[in-house]
Structure 1
Amino acid sequence: MNHIPVEQWKKYVEDELEPVERERCEAHLIVCDLCLEQYMQCLEQSEGLPLPDDEAAFAAAAMNRFDELCTSQERNAALTVLPAARRDARLPLLHHPFFHYAVAAVITLILMGSGVFQTITQQIAHIEPDSANAAEPADEPFSKIIMNHTLGMLDSIQPKRERGSTP
């Protein structure tokens, strides 16, 4: 890749290049990081870009120039970009958290109304009739009580052959 010398970047910053050469330099800035670094150094060393004395007048002149260059369709398209982006930023219904909470609530109500939860608790009491009626010791941790009940339920589900006994 042929790099542009620093002297040419200085001329570019000071606007002393021909339009064709300026376009070549601008195209090269896009692809070359080393030349971009040199260009930035030349900008820092120069007197800098001229700032407008009256910013309001500068903004008005820029808007007038924008109006001259753009057709009405282009202007409308440029001005409607932001609202379109806001519309796209909205979450679809299936991804909205409220939708997920509503579905979970409906499923819970259906299971409660059909008696599934009551059947499950009756099955656990049927599997371990002694533990359902007996009071647990007060000094045993609750997590251990849950673990014992879970293990008892899993043992009743597991076939006897897998536990090592003969049929």
Structure 2
Amino acid sequence: MKHYHYDEWLSYVKDEVSGQTREELESHLYTCDECLEHYLQAVSEHESSLPVLLNETSFTDQVMAEVSKQNEYIEKPSVMKQPVKTKKPFYQQASFHYLIAAAATLLLTFSGVFQSLATYASAVEAPQHIKEKKPTVTEGVIDKTFAWMDSLEEKEANKK
């Protein structure tokens, strides 16, 4: 992997490199931590020559206002900016989606799909038939053990 020197990163930060070199440097930053460190050092060194913003919040608000204006207006050469009212296609409007959902609900209701689902759900919830519970092997052994112990206690009680 080719690494770039600090001076190359400083030129990049000062915007003194060509377009192709700029793309190479930017793509290299994604893969190389060592060059990323050089880049960050160059940015911190060149930071003092960047303009200082007095009120960052108002700057951000102004930028966002201009961005929203760009979305609302279209440039025309002969006329100043005019608002553009774009209408969404019918299939992208919320009312269309509600109409489709209502139609699907009515169709499923009248076709009996919900009724069959309710019948199926009740059939799953209800037991098919109540089976007589058979004791497990362990329960049988325990029952026989208790019966044997009870008989021993009776014999002891009869001896006294």
Q: Structure 1 length normalisation: TM-score?
A: 0.41
For the pair shown, the structure with the greater C-alpha radius of gyration is: 2
